[in-house]
Amino acid sequence: MRIILKILVLMAAVWAADYLVDGIVFEGSFWERVLVALIFALVNTFIKPILKLLSFPVVIATFGLFVLVINAGMLALTAALSDSLTVDGFWSALLGAIIISIVSAVLGWFVPND
């Protein structure tokens, strides 16, 4: 049940980024939103840790701000893997990644840990 709630939180965060950022466009049904959230979760689970490990010196040198660039790349990769999500450029991906991080963190407070 917790995984389903996490996917719903991620789906809401992607919807918020779609609503707030002009360069992020989602065209699809509810189930396509679920699919995009699943793709985003899988990309963040398997690819993001590898990139964070490889870019560790840059992350340290930029006091952690390079993680925002990695998050933007994960959003752009999700858009590339999905037919229903479009991200126009780096700045849209960066702003969308920031919004997704904030919304996911706030909504994540309401998801029980057990």
- Return the SS3 of 86: strand
pLDDT in tens, 25-78: 999 899 999 999 999 999 999 999 999 999 999 999 999 999 999 999 999 999
Phi, psi (rounded to 5 degrees) for 25: -125, 130
pLDDT in tens, 13-35: 999 999 999 999 999 899 999 99
Cβ-based neighbour number of residue 49 at 10 Å: 10
Mean pLDDT throughout 4-9?
92
What are the beta bridge partners of residue 85? Answer: 26
